[in-house]
Amino acid sequence: MLLSENQKMIREMTRDFAKSRIAPIAAHIDETGEFPAATIKELGALGLLGLKVPEAEGGFQVDTTSYALVVEELSRVCGSHGLTVAAHNSLGCWPIHAFGTPEQQQRWLPGACRGDYLLSFGLTEPGAGSDAGGTTSTAVRDGGDWVLNGRKQWITNAHHAGAVIITAKTDPAASGSKGISAFIVPTGTPGFTVEKKEDKLGMRGSDTAPLTLEDVRVPADALLGQQGDGFKQFLATLDGGRISIGALALGLAVGAFETARDYAKGRIQFGQPIAAQQAVQFQLADMSLKIDAARLLIYEACRRKDAGEPYADMAAKGKLYASEIAMEVTSGAIQLLGGYGFCREYPVERMYRDAKLCTIGEGTSEIQRMVIARNLLDE
């Protein structure tokens, strides 16, 4: 795919920042689980925390391909940075831009785009993961307020969020996915607790934590969009978010591939670089092939979204394929590097651990196959 000059400029700006500011700390934040607050703040100064928000709302709105390029470039060196930026833009900022009132947009988006705070999306619950329609959190009207109770799980950026978009049942008599609404809840609201950060296999520099809501009282104007529209809102949010997770997986695959390729060219065995061995050449060729195929799927989803065409099917395909080839490529890179790949001297073992999240978050691989099959059968 040919990129415009503006897309190339955004890619190069992000690549330069990732190499100079993020790559030197990527291993440290993985080892310690430390959230990279300073570099995330710098990304806000570059406009990369408001990529899906119009300038009138405080953002730096770009086309979806440019957004995918940013996430890919960050993830080439650090999956935790890629995930932080993807979740903030797609799950935090976008719903407020898409469904919020002008007052909600002006209250929350300018500061979020600057990096004063992040925004989070509270959908998943301990008993409602893939079955997000099984939400049990509740919101009950009490005079001019709503009172929320419930528990949310696996919430990205939770400790650094100024507000979290919370989904809750507003009509307890409604069955299944009906009767769910969304609310913008400031994290400092009494009764709102962000619990201990999860200790994870990968994406360790990304902040993930459960939330507890105990009689959390918010005013009526905290309702996002119309009452009862929560399920439709989060389906639309996840469609766009799948593009960004696909781009994240693509970036991890590219980073692992480039490390393996460069290692193969410099590693001497039996008197020659191992890249001279046909077995290694074929392995690198397969990696490159799968990376390019994933990129084409993701870019096509971006094109359809920006053209106003149906894109949910292609977003699911791109997310599914990119996340699964990311697992293949990062695993293959470890194998190619041998003992060095298994140790933390090289980043491929970290990329392998980070890539696993991409097959789970924003809809598991199994859910993506369900989405794709449903679209096929509906045709």
By annotation, the residues acting in catalysis are 362
Tabulate helix, strand, coil % of the chain (nearest 5): 60, 15, 25
Residue 77 CA to chain centroid, in angstroms?
Answer: 15
Spatial CB neighbours of 181, under 8 Å, sequence gap ≥ 6: 139, 167, 168, 169, 170, 223, 224, 225, 226, 227, 228, 229, 230
CA distance 172 to 180: 9
**Containing H/E element for 142?**
strand 138-142
DSSP secondary structure code for residue 127 in this structure: T
Q: Which of 91, 94, 108, 112 is nearest to 43 (CA)?
A: 112
Whether 150 contacts 199, CB under 8 Å: no
Q: Which string of DSSP letters, residue by residue, matches 172-228?
A: TTS-TTTTEEEEEEETTSTTEEE-PPP--SS-TTS-EEEEEEEEEEEEGGGEESSTT
Cα–Cα dist 111/134, whole Å = 33
